[in-house]
Amino acid sequence: MKEIILKVEGMACTGCENRIQNALKTKEGIKEVVANHKEGTVKIVAEDVNLEEIKEKIEAIGFTVI
């Protein structure tokens, strides 16, 4: 299990956090997702996942991974 923390731009509220969390929780291998719009971060706890796929999924719903 590994923990990944991504900086994400474009989150303005808890609704944004929920959109990211819901989009990523459906991905196989992801055990936990915690988005924080105040800090601009998304913490992911996962087994074996492709980081590029996670970034693409976040960007597909309108946010920018930096």
Scan for tokens 């693409």, then name that residue.
56
* pLDDT value at 49 more than 90: no
Q: Is 19 helix (H, G, I), strand (E, B) or coil?
A: helix
Angle at 34 between CA 50 and CA 3, to 5 degrees: 45
Q: pTM higher than 0.85 for the full model? A: yes
Mean pLDDT of the chain: 95
Q: How confident is the model at residue 17 (pLDDT cuts 50, 70, 90)?
A: very high
What does the block give as tokens for 9? 């731009």
Q: Which stretch of DSSP H or E encloses residue 34?
A: strand 30-36
| Residue 31 identity (one-letter amino acid) | K
| Domains detected in the chain | 2-65 (3.30.70.100)
Across residues 27-40, what is the average pLDDT? 95
pLDDT confidence of residue 14: 97
| Residue 61 identity (one-letter amino acid) | I
